[in-house]
Structure 1
Amino acid sequence: MTDLLYSEEEDALRAAVRGLLADRGDPASVLARAESAGPVHDPRLWKTLAGEMGLAGLLIPEERGGQGASHREAAVVLEELGRAVAPVPYLTSAVVATEALLACGADDLLAELASAASVGVLCVGLHTAPTAGLRTVRVENGTLRGELTGVADAVAADVLLVPADDGGLYAVAAADVTVVPRVSLDLTRPVATVVLDGAAGRRLGEAAPAVRRALRAGAGLLASEQLGVADWALTETVRYLKERTQFNRPVGGFQALKHRLAQLWLEIAHLRAAARAAADALATGVEPDLAVAVAQAYAAGVAVRATEEALQLHGGIGMTWEHPVHLYLKRAKADSIAYGTAGAHREWVGGLADLVGPGGGGEVVVRG
């Protein structure tokens, strides 16, 4: 039977990442970066996290320059990054782009990503589900032309992995393309349009299997990020309600609020189980499609509800820009469509279980 409890090594990793983020990536500093006119990504934090701690190479085997860990360890890192809404391209580079490169066997680029010498980004819209069709650019006279929208963290990339209409996945230097930032709801994970106008690219391998593997891993480990977001929201709300008083007693002592918090705690406990199951399935290869689809069918709703409750139960201070809770709500809302909506993943679950919705399409209906 699979053990979904955290190992001693995973607990130690969590403590190390949480300690770093408390020192260099606390919510107040993230809020300041998000509101500044400069880049939202924190290169100093990324250098320490990815380079000095070696966490960018967790999913890369040791013989290929990485740490040789698994998706379980990467999930622990993403829980803590979600808890801090850290503005670093870990999910997009150390997970999604890395998985695509592993599928293609691009060892030189993997070594660059593992050492944090480069940031890689897969040029697929953040909203794209693992089962969705793939948008590509054109190959003309040996160069790439076209544009791809909604690409997360493209502004921080050094190398872009671009799917083309000849079925190939190409590595393109970020200096050879135009990256146009777009307004993003999530201030800590910017999106952009990538424009290729005769860019030179190196063909790495077949795009379809590499992109599907990458998006599946991204969706599965996104659940751990959503778990971190939801857990922060609950923890901070409980702490605040213990401190705030009304009618000479702590607000948290009112039974109606206790019931709301207890229900939220239960939902987050369920989310933790689903996220851990997805990470373990990706690590072991035992039915990863089903575990990822189940986790994402559930995770978005819990993360959004937890952050909405946090904002409301913080009262007036929760409605201000000075409090970081709005960053968590925006991250939860943006994550709710990242790598496929909950509805898309429910349909995926239905397909895997041979369940068909009314009329043979739409959302899956399960009775019984």
Structure 2
Amino acid sequence: MSLTAEQQELATTVRAVLAKHGDSAAMRRGLDSERGYDEQLWKLLCEQVGVAALAIPEEFGGVGVGLVESLLVVEELGRTLVAPPMLGSAVLGVQALLLAGNTEANERLLPEVAEGVRTLALCWAGPRGWDSFGVSAAGENLSGSAHYVLDGVQADTLLVLTADGLFEVDGDAAGVTRTAVVTQDPTRTLARIDFDAVQARPLGRLNVARLREIAWAAVVAEQVGAAEQCLDMTVEYTKSRVQFGRPIGSFQALKHRMADMYVLVESARSLAYLAIAGLADGAVEAIDVQAARLHAIDAFNAVVSETIQMHGGIAITWEHDAHLFFKRAHADAQLFGAPARPLARPA
């Protein structure tokens, strides 16, 4: 997939906003906030760039440009470790609603999501992950526990995925208990949400396999952005760190290692864009998304490990961001699960 001029301009604009308002200091301030992210930055991205509206059709108050543009934003956010409700709400929540195809719900919920004033949380996984549903439905009553819910503690609307389809629940409904959970990655908030005979509104059935592919593609986009940032950090550091009277980046052994990092980042991006373009066109092969998912996991883990090594002791201090990228890499490897290995394309 080659980006159009408009898509390149979108990515450049988002990167500029994040460079000015979403730097490391802003990201760290968000870690200590009630929501776990910088609310002013999210408001700025929604109002001035319209990031939450990108994949929402115009008839539901959005921009209607599509999934590709949304995932370009996710890629840029990956570079900063900033985790506003883009992935959980504006991508997964919106795509779940669109796949369910409930026009009344879309007309009621999506305009406010597009404006950034309503957030969605997709409640899906059971205790062992996304291969099973954590919540079951008995008619229009929901019971059970959804695990690993992105932005689940603060979301305005809960979208509950069950074996019987998608349901809508108000975040403050009776019988709902939301609990923030401690995670390996402090830059992203996850929650466990318990449902005790909660009255819910059925929205319809959807293609869960396609939703899983969209989730994988979104995480891959984030991994690509984060891996590229790790590479850039490493190159800059090796230019300034002097040893034996020379910048360490001039040593051939480190040049080779950084070249390998570059190849990993670019190959991960190529596979990611192939999968994303196929999803957007509706012509994707599942194996393309799976390959992108597996390669992004390996590439990000390898790149961030080299980042840690080449930064030396500073990389494992709280003051440096390298260790946060390391934690994000390992957490992203588990988010929404991963396809089984090895992959084989059907004859």
Give the TM-score category using the shorter length: over 0.9
In 1, the alpha carbon distance for the partners of 2:33 and 2:272 equals 35
In 1, the alpha carbon distance for the partners of 2:144 and 2:285 equals 33
Structure 1 residue 128: Cα displacement:
4.4
In 1, the alpha carbon distance for the partners of 2:58 and 2:293 equals 30
Residue 122 of structure 2 aligns to which amino acid in structure 1? L
In 1, the alpha carbon distance for the partners of 2:303 and 2:8 equals 24
- 1:63 aligned to which of 59, 64, 70: 59
Match of 1:302, SS state, is helix
* Number of aligned positions between the proteins: 340
Aligned pair in 2 of structure 1 residues 178, 104: CA closer, same or farther (>3 Å)? same
**Contact 1:101 / 1:109 at 8 angstroms: preserved in 2?**
no
Structure 1 residue 267: Cα displacement:
1.1
**Contact 2:135 / 2:195 at 8 angstroms: preserved in 1?**
no
Q: 1:79-94 counterparts in 2 under 5 A?
A: 79-94=75-90
Aligned pair in 2 of structure 1 residues 113, 211: CA closer, same or farther (>3 Å)? farther
Residue 117 of structure 2 aligns to which amino acid in structure 1? A
Q: Render the CA deviation track for 1:274-298: whole Å, top value 9, x for unaligned.
A: 1111110111111242321110021
**Contact 2:136 / 2:143 at 8 angstroms: preserved in 1?**
yes
In 2, the alpha carbon distance for the partners of 1:243 and 1:213 equals 46
In 1, the alpha carbon distance for the partners of 2:305 and 2:216 equals 22
In 2, the alpha carbon distance for the partners of 1:212 and 1:194 equals 23
Percent identical residues:
36
Matching residue of 1:28: 25
Aligned pair in 2 of structure 1 residues 164, 273: CA closer, same or farther (>3 Å)? closer
Matching residue of 1:151: 149
Structure 1 residue 111: Cα displacement:
2.1
In 2, the alpha carbon distance for the partners of 1:37 and 1:85 equals 15
Matching residue of 1:251: 248
In 2, the alpha carbon distance for the partners of 1:210 and 1:53 equals 30
1:227 aligned onto 2:224 = yes
In 2, the alpha carbon distance for the partners of 1:104 and 1:51 equals 27
In 2, the alpha carbon distance for the partners of 1:47 and 1:191 equals 21
Q: 1:125-164 counterparts in 2 under 5 A?
A: 125=125, 128=129, 132-139=131-138, 142-164=140-162
Residue 94 of structure 1 aligns to which amino acid in structure 2? A
Matching residue of 1:340: 337
In 1, the alpha carbon distance for the partners of 2:150 and 2:74 equals 16
In 1, the alpha carbon distance for the partners of 2:316 and 2:162 equals 45
Q: Which runs of 5+ in 1 are unaligned?
A: 356-368
In 1, the alpha carbon distance for the partners of 2:165 and 2:269 equals 37
Q: 1:113-128 counterparts in 2 under 5 A?
A: 113-125=113-125, 128=129
In 1, the alpha carbon distance for the partners of 2:67 and 2:274 equals 11
TM-score, normalised with respect to structure 2 = 0.92
In 1, the alpha carbon distance for the partners of 2:59 and 2:171 equals 27
Q: Render the CA deviation track for 1:98-132: whole Å, top value 9, x for unaligned.
A: 11100122322222222222111110239845xx3
Higher relative contact order at CA 8 Å, sep ≥6: structure 1 or structure 2?
1
Match of 1:181, SS state, is strand
- 1:311 aligned to which of 308, 311, 330: 308
Match of 2:133, SS state, is coil
In 2, the alpha carbon distance for the partners of 1:51 and 1:288 equals 35
Structure 1 residue 84: Cα displacement:
0.6
TM-score, normalised with respect to structure 1 = 0.87
Structure 1 residue 218: Cα displacement:
1.3
Aligned pair in 2 of structure 1 residues 37, 52: CA closer, same or farther (>3 Å)? closer
In 2, the alpha carbon distance for the partners of 1:49 and 1:288 equals 32
Q: Render the CA deviation track for 1:236-274: whole Å, top value 9, x for unaligned.
A: 100000001001100111111111111111111101101
- 2:44 aligned to which of 32, 38, 48: 48
Q: Render the CA deviation track for 1:177-202: whole Å, top value 9, x for unaligned.
A: 21111111111211111011232211
Matching residue of 1:364: none
Residue 153 of structure 2 aligns to which amino acid in structure 1? V
Match of 1:204, SS state, is strand
Matching residue of 1:72: 68
Q: Render the CA deviation track for 1:31-59: whole Å, top value 9, x for unaligned.
A: 2332x364312221112213442111211
In 1, the alpha carbon distance for the partners of 2:179 and 2:98 equals 28
